[in-house]
Amino acid sequence: MSPPSLIDAHPHPAATAPVALSYELFPPRSPAAAESLWTTIGELETTNPDYVSVTYGASGSNRGTAVELINRLVQETTLRPLAHLTCVGNTPQQLAGVIAELLDVGVRGILALRGDQPKDGTEPAQGSLRYAQDLIELIRRVEQRRSALLCAGKVAVGVAAYPSRHPESPSEAHDVEVLLAKQRSGADFAITQVFFHPGQYEQLLARARRAGVTIPIIPGVMPLTSVRRLTRLGELTGVEPAPELLERLAAADTDAERNRIGVAATVDLANAALDAGAPGLHLYTFNEHASALDVLDRLALPRPGARPGPRRSAAPRGGTERRLAS
Ligand code: FAD
């Protein structure tokens, strides 16, 4: 009789994996903003996320504050930072220096991005990296030079993915080809741009898998509670917010009512992505914890036990618990 197959003994290992949880933060622009951000960080820490991502300002404008925030996250919290990095506004030499600095402070995850082109039409400097794909390759070269320091381990490299067409791209099919090219250059996972319609994540996933993209694609979800923020983000990213949601939010009589509507819409969006097979959830917090935690309370994601950290003084958890597939 042949020994039992290991594959048979564990038929669906991925089906039992917990849902990954992460948040996006941006470096504070003033001492008051820093104080409020650290309150938010303390609150988010109690939810035991897998990582928190830290944005990198357009043109590398906030390089110092971004690295400082990441350094403090490593030194003073239990959180694992994922550092965003952009080609735009940085020479390859500067980028290689920042990557080395990040690895030296203990960062093991980088989100490789091109960044938005300057609105004034300034041409990239001679020798600049053109696409996110070039930055992935640079990260891998720096990583290779530091291989012994990393115990031959790998840096996790993430990239952007787009549920609705990138504003400069000719088509959604082209976006998926770019995602495949980024995977071939060494990307380990992708986080999506914001999206506002429940089917969009599932459609991206289907397009990507058909094209041969196998890396995890994590939906990036923003709490849909602020008309001003939704409108502004729509302008910045070229992703049109759902008009009926904007109308309902604008018509709400109180902040509490607006929050209730926005959180419910965000939970629907996140649930649609999770039902479509999303391996995690990345919440765009805008450095505020209240709405993100309200969304999380309603979702009650299947998550492993909390690591030590300060406890959150929040309202009791409600909502329907999502169960791990068995
Ligand atoms: P790329 O993948 O390089 O694509 C840029 C454009 O070039 C696309 O239109 C693509 O179709 C095209 N393209 C790419 N490769 C090729 C190729 N080989 N041949 C032909 N065309 C190609 N911006 C910031 O400034 N700071 C941040 O911290 C930041 N964080 C982000 C986090 C997430 C999760 C997301 C989704 C976006 C973030 N952005 C950030 C915005 C991002 O920089 C912009 O969306 C930017 O316009 C594109 O970046 P990218 O990495 O997708 O670029």
CB of 59 within 6 A of ligand 1: the answer is no
**Annotated active-site residue in 24, 43, 45, 143:** 24
Structure tokens at 267: 């939970």
Mean pLDDT, residues 178-195 taken together: 98
* Banded model confidence at residue 3, pLDDT cuts 50, 70, 90: low
pLDDT of 76 above 60 = yes
User: Mean pLDDT score of the chain, rounded to an integer?
Assistant: 89
CB of 176 within 6 A of ligand 1: the answer is no
Distance 301 CA to ligand 1 centre (A): 29
Distance 285 CA to ligand 1 centre (A): 20
Lowest model confidence (mean pLDDT) among 165-179, 203-217, 298-312:
298-312
Instruction: State the pLDDT at residue 319.
Output: 42
CB of 220 within 6 A of ligand 1: the answer is yes
Instruction: State the pLDDT at residue 58.
Output: 72
CB of 133 within 6 A of ligand 1: the answer is yes
Distance 49 CA to ligand 1 centre (A): 25
pTM for this prediction: 0.91
Instruction: State the pLDDT at residue 13.
Output: 55
Q: Which of 23, 178, 184 to mutate to test the pocket of ligand 1 (most atoms within 8 A of CB)?
A: 178
Distance 131 CA to ligand 1 centre (A): 7
Order of all β-strands in the sheet with 51-54: 217-218, 189-192, 156-161, 109-113, 81-86, 51-54, 20-25, 280-284, 220-221
Residue nearest to atom 39 of ligand 1 (CA): 115
* Banded model confidence at residue 125, pLDDT cuts 50, 70, 90: confident
Instruction: State the pLDDT at residue 305.
Output: 63
Residues 204/194, Cβ–Cβ less than 8 Å: no
Which domains, from first to last, does the chain contain? 18-299 (3.20.20.220)
Rounded to whole angstroms, the Cα distance separating 112 from 53 reads 12
* Banded model confidence at residue 61, pLDDT cuts 50, 70, 90: confident
CB of 63 within 6 A of ligand 1: the answer is no
61 vs 188 pLDDT, higher one? 188
CB of 55 within 6 A of ligand 1: the answer is yes
pLDDT in tens, 194-226: 999 989 999 999 999 999 999 999 999 999 999
Residue 99's identity, in one-letter code, is I
Q: Give, rounded to a whole angstrom, the gap between the first and last alpha carbons of the chain.
A: 29
CB of 282 within 6 A of ligand 1: the answer is no
Residue 163's identity, in one-letter code, is P
pLDDT of 311 above 50 = no
127 vs 50 pLDDT, higher one? 50
pLDDT in tens, 230-256: 999 888 888 989 899 999 999 999 999
Residue nearest to atom 16 of ligand 1 (CA): 178
Residue nearest to atom 19 of ligand 1 (CA): 178
Q: Tell me which residue of 81, 101, 79, 82 sits closest to 90, measured CA to CA.
A: 101
pLDDT of 66 above 90 = yes
Counting atoms of ligand 1 from 1, which one is nearest the CA of 168? Answer: 9
Q: How does DSSP assign 250-308, residue by residue?
A: HH-SSHHHHHHHHHHHHHHHHHHHHHTT-SEEEEE-TT--HHHHHHHHHH----PPPPS
* Banded model confidence at residue 121, pLDDT cuts 50, 70, 90: confident
Residue nearest to atom 42 of ligand 1 (CA): 115
Distance 245 CA to ligand 1 centre (A): 27
Q: For residue 178, give the H/E element and its range.
A: helix 172-184
Q: Is 168 a catalytic residue?
A: no
For tokens 């993100």, name the residue.
292
Q: Which of 131, 177, 194 to mutate to test the pocket of ligand 1 (most atoms within 8 A of CB)?
A: 131
Mean pLDDT, residues 2-24 taken together: 72
